[in-house]
Amino acid sequence: MTNLTEHVDRSQELAAKVGRLYRKRTQLAQERFQERVQRVYQQQVAELMARPPAPWEIWTQWWEYSTDFAERSLLFWDTLRQRGNNFVAHEEAGKPPVLHFEYEMVLDARRRERPVNYALVRIVPPPGVEVDPKRRPYVIIDPRAGHGPGIGGFKDDSQVGVALRAGHPVYFVIFFPEPEPDQTLLDVCDAEQQFVRKVRELHPESPRPVIVGNCQGGWAAMLLAASNPQDTGPIVINGAPMSYWGGALSEGSGDNPMRYAGGLLGGTWMASLAADLGNGRFDGAYLVENMENLNPANTFWDRYYHLFANVDTEPPRFLEFERWWGGFYLLNRDEIEWIVRELFVGNRVWSGDAQAANGKRFDLREIQSPIILFASLGDNITPPQQAFNWVADVFGSTDEIKSRGQTIVGLLHQDIGHLGIFVSGRVAKKEHTQIVSVLKSIEALPPGLYGMQINEIQRKDGQCDYDVQFVERRLEDVAARLNRLQRADEKPFEAVAEIAEFNQRAYELFARPLVQALSNEFAAELGRRFHPLRVQRWAISDLNPWLQWLGPAAELVKAQRHATGSEQPFRQVEGMVSELVSAALDYYREIRDATSEALFFETYGSLFSFYLADRHEAAKQRLAPPSDPRQLPFVREALTALEAGGYPEALTRAGYLLARHGEPLPLARLELKEQLLREYADLLPDLPREQARRIRGEQEIICRYEPEQAVASLPQLLRDPEDRRRFLTLLERLVSDPRIQATGITEAQRDMLARIRGVLDEGETQPRRGRPE
């Protein structure tokens, strides 16, 4: 009875919180709508009223505007006709990738023993661009989320273009419209491993390739790196939903409605139903439709009005983007079910529950190379919480990141949207260019979690330079700042996962046999052809005989165009009406999202409270970290090895003791570090970077938890007289190096240097103990 009372109390408390939040959401939505309406009045209506035209001018202005409006209407519909023609031509050509660059086939995975509809292509450098085959190659993986491949190389200012101009060989993972029979995402992962090995074979003298993953290609890149760590270099994931339960639950509007979709649809069974109706294949147009529904103002009005208002200049850009946006690809039933079950609903990619094709579980802690995470606060599809929370789930603490020798760098944009992360030329010129330019420096960072800051510097000639620096962060602080409710809002998703599993089993038992019996390829293809996103394209094309007059009429208009400027009074009224329509659609969206959010938490929050809360609390207490961090396994392991090791451990420990802590790491200092590593290579241990980072992480833990013993035990690490001589020689040469002197040695560094010298001198005069067995 007591438990029932507690459950009811929790449910009532939750309902009250959800009600308050819903009222806040709707109130803010109304206030924003009113602000936009008032802004229209103040900026446009008041301006028009301040200088009313003379009566005889109104008719002239109306005639000019009506002529311009009619001509723009013709050109607007002709642009949509061209979009439809491009869509039909793209379909007839087999929907090739929309890459801006020429490419040549390297490996076609459709010819493997376990075929998949993927291939590896090499990007051919454009004229005037030279690449060095000995430089680190880039392998770019685009998302397979309804569209075709190519968004990473969609234009010259893109991820591909940036890497090519920096002299790197670039490879692209493409995929074909139709999946191979029975292929799975684990087969795809296995094929991508083969692609990376092939790139290494083609560039034997270069460092391991960079793997760049966009959106869902991001978690594909992470799974690839976790299952094949010995072949992959740094991992760059852009806008990748790694922790799909996360979101920006705030006092503002509901920013991330997609994370509630799985629960509101009842889990994974809807994806299975769609795939069964497609005769075993899932239509990617449904995924694109979901993304379009996120922003009805842009989908149904803003992008079309922008084209209409700027129809003399906008069509090329509009048609180019629509070429990619309107290319819809298919997935197998197994593929979409794995994505929805493991990622969207189950949120199991980071947990180690997912298995590779060889039966080994994906463990993201196995990744040896640095990981760069790029996300944006303006992304309502993959908010920063979904891009970053997996780090806290996998590693748990800053100390564990360091103990495993892992380096993770986060880069956060302030306002760009989801597609802008991959498409925007402005982002390519700034963020992606800087990522490419500093990857070698990132590899030189000590293990830990860092924020990458890009500061703009205006030159005298008006051009802009960028200064990059890295600021070390604590995982605990970052997770708390990103998740204002300590991730309490993620608990109801556990109930979603339970309900989804039940619904999926019920569907497979009772409905799937009937649906599959009624499905056939003719009906599936008919359903795909008449999907609304396809119909709105092919119906307004030259396939439609009623539109044969549109092309010639548009050409006639272009030859005798009577355009008016945006300052024309009736054009201003048109812009005002457009802004009001857009504001109304945004108001609808905010109310819809607030309602779906409230419905989600009322439903699944109550289910969690009644059925899973006690289990969750028990598991939380069982898995809670010890109050003393020294009791954590990896900390204990590091501290027990305080006197273990030799020259590499002693040198790394001294490097940490003499480093400046709590300061940003400018790029210039990292570049100086790389120069010193090359020049003093004869005095340094020859270790792989991954091993060196792991040693650095362990030694940092020792120095932070046992600072006195860390210094006092240095003689035990340098038992060999030759090692001690090399150590002191390197120390003296570094301290006297003019470049080190120019950075300004601090008083704390001088004191620590004296302590290290003193303890080594003292250890030299004492009898040396034998090396422990």
In the 3-class helix/strand/coil scheme, how is 563-576 assigned residue by residue?
CCCCCCHHHHHHHH
Residue 228 per-residue DSSP state: -
Cβ–Cβ under 8 Å, residues 218 and 142: no
Burial class (CB in 10 A: 0-12, 13-18, 19+), 615: exposed
The more confident residue out of 210 and 419 is: 210
- Return left, alpha or beta for 411; rule: phi > 0 is left, psi -120 to 50 is alpha, else beta: beta
DSSP 685-721: ----HHHHHHHHHHHHHHHHH-HHHHHHTHHHHT-SH
Distance CA 398, CA 408 (A): 11
**CA-angle at 601, arms to 598 and 602, nearest 5°:** 80
E-only strand ranges, 255-384: 281-283, 330-332, 371-376
pLDDT above 60 for 620: no
CA-closest candidate to residue 657, choices 584, 585, 706:
706
Q: How many of the other CB atoms lie within 10 Å of CB of 450?
A: 23
pLDDT in tens, 314-328: 999 999 999 999 999
Distance CA 752, CA 732 (A): 14
Residue 460 per-residue DSSP state: T
Distance CA 251, CA 126 (A): 49
pLDDT above 70 for 618: no
pLDDT in tens, 73-86: 999 999 999 999 99
Beta bridge partners, 355, equal 361
> What integer pLDDT is reported at residue 110 of this predicted model?
96
Q: How far is CA 668 from CA 82, 98, 151, 237, 665, in A?
A: 51, 38, 33, 25, 8
pLDDT above 80 for 306: yes
Q: How far is CA 583 from CA 31, 302, 308, 755, in A?
A: 11, 10, 18, 67
> What integer pLDDT is reported at residue 519 of this predicted model?
94
pLDDT above 70 for 49: no
Distance CA 371, CA 224 (A): 13
> What integer pLDDT is reported at residue 626 of this predicted model?
61
Give me the domains of the chain, ranges plus CATH numbers: 103-245+347-488 (3.40.50.1820), 630-765 (no CATH)
Taking each helix axis from N to C end, the angle separating 216-227 and 185-202, rounded to the nearest 10 degrees, works out to 70
Predicted confidence band of residue 59 (pLDDT cuts 50, 70, 90): confident
Per DSSP, the chain holds a count of helices (H) and strands (E) of 35, 13
Distance CA 14, CA 604 (A): 11
CA-closest candidate to residue 334, choices 395, 423, 268, 252:
268
CA-closest candidate to residue 453, choices 667, 610, 630, 698:
667
Distance CA 636, CA 664 (A): 29
Tokens encoding 709: 């013993």
CA-closest candidate to residue 269, choices 515, 518, 517, 500:
500
Count the residues in the chain: 773
Residue 218, Cα to own-chain centre: how many angstroms? 6
> What integer pLDDT is reported at residue 424 of this predicted model?
81
pLDDT above 60 for 165: yes
> What integer pLDDT is reported at residue 771 of this predicted model?
40
- Prediction pTM value: 0.91
The more confident residue out of 475 and 624 is: 475
Query: What is the three-class DSSP state of 140?
Result: strand
Cα dihedral 636/642/645/649 (nearest 10)? 100
Do the strands 235-238 and 371-376 form a parallel or antiparallel pair, or are they unpaired? Answer: parallel
Predicted confidence band of residue 1 (pLDDT cuts 50, 70, 90): very low
Distance CA 467, CA 666 (A): 8
Beta bridge partners, 453, equal 469
pLDDT in tens, 238-291: 999 888 888 765 545 556 788 888 888 899 999 999 999 999 999 999 999 999
Distance CA 232, CA 220 (A): 13
Do the strands 281-283 and 330-332 form a parallel or antiparallel pair, or are they unpaired? Answer: antiparallel
pLDDT above 70 for 765: no
Cβ–Cβ under 8 Å, residues 367 and 222: yes
E-only strand ranges, 438-559: 448-458, 464-473
pLDDT above 80 for 625: no
> What integer pLDDT is reported at residue 316 of this predicted model?
95
Distance CA 613, CA 618 (A): 9
- Return left, alpha or beta for 486; rule: phi > 0 is left, psi -120 to 50 is alpha, else beta: left
Average model confidence (pLDDT) across the chain = 87
> What integer pLDDT is reported at residue 65 of this predicted model?
93
**CA-angle at 732, arms to 731 and 737, nearest 5°:** 100
pLDDT in tens, 548-580: 999 999 999 999 999 998 888 889 889 999 999
pLDDT in tens, 363-410: 888 898 999 999 998 888 888 888 899 999 898 889 899 988 999 999
Distance CA 233, CA 440 (A): 11
Count CA atoms closer than 13 A to 731's CA, side-chain side: 25
Do the strands 665-666 and 464-473 form a parallel or antiparallel pair, or are they unpaired? Answer: antiparallel
The Cα diameter of the chain in Å comes to: 109
Identity of the residue numbered 466: Y
Cβ–Cβ under 8 Å, residues 335 and 179: yes
Q: How many of the other CB atoms lie within 10 Å of CB of 369?
A: 23
User: Once rounded to an integer, what is the mean pLDDT over residues 43-53?
Assistant: 69
Element (H, E) at 411: strand 407-413
Cβ–Cβ under 8 Å, residues 86 and 317: no
